Amino acid sequence: MEKQWKNLNVNLRQLAKTVEERYSRRNCKVEETALKGGYSIRVILAGLRTPGVMSIVIRGTPDDFMIETRGTEQEDDAIKVGLMTTIFGGGSLILRNLKSREELEKLEREFWGTIEETIRSLTNSTA
């Protein structure tokens, strides 16, 4: 999913830091990478036998930026492998990956449900 905001003067570094802190407090492993013109944040769900990863990309300028989220493609590949190997016990692989996908979808819905408030609190935060 992707969404764009304009004319809010949001400090993108502070926005990325706030997102990173939110997931770090939830015992998720978080990896942030500075990009040219933005930030990439990987949220790795721990505690699952098949870890899930949500990618959050913040790009643009304080007055015109976009946020994009997506889950990893690893789950789709593992489900395909599980389907091909169901005769040999691949069903458990499918189940683990479906659980991981479910947790990622829940995490993404939660992210989009809270990001507006976070952005609102950071409006006019650049000097």
Tens-digit pLDDT profile for residues 66-105 = 999 988 654 455 445 544 555 555 556 566 677 778 888 8
Domain of 10?
2-120
pLDDT of residue 79: 46
Longest dimension (CA), the chain: 61
Tokens 């007055």, residue located: 63
pLDDT at 96: 66
How many structural domains does the chain have? 1
Q: Distance (Å, rounded) from C-alpha 122 to C-alpha 70?
A: 23
Indicate whether 47 pLDDT > 60: yes
Q: Is residue 11 part of a domain?
A: yes
Integer Cα distance of 66 and 39 in angstroms: 11
- Cβ neighbours of 22 (radius 10 Å): 17
Reduced to 3 states, what is the DSSP secondary structure of residue 41? strand
Please report which helix (H) or strand (E) contains residue 68, including its range: strand 64-71
As a whole number of angstroms, the distance between CA 125 and CA 127 comes to: 7
Burial pattern 109-123, b for ≥16 Cβ within 10 A else e, equals: eebeeebeeebeebe
Q: Look at residue 35 and tell me if it is in a domain.
A: yes
CA dist., res. 126 & res. 64, Å (int) = 13
Give the CATH number of the domain where residue 104 resides.
Answer: 3.30.160
Judge whether 125 lies within some domain: no
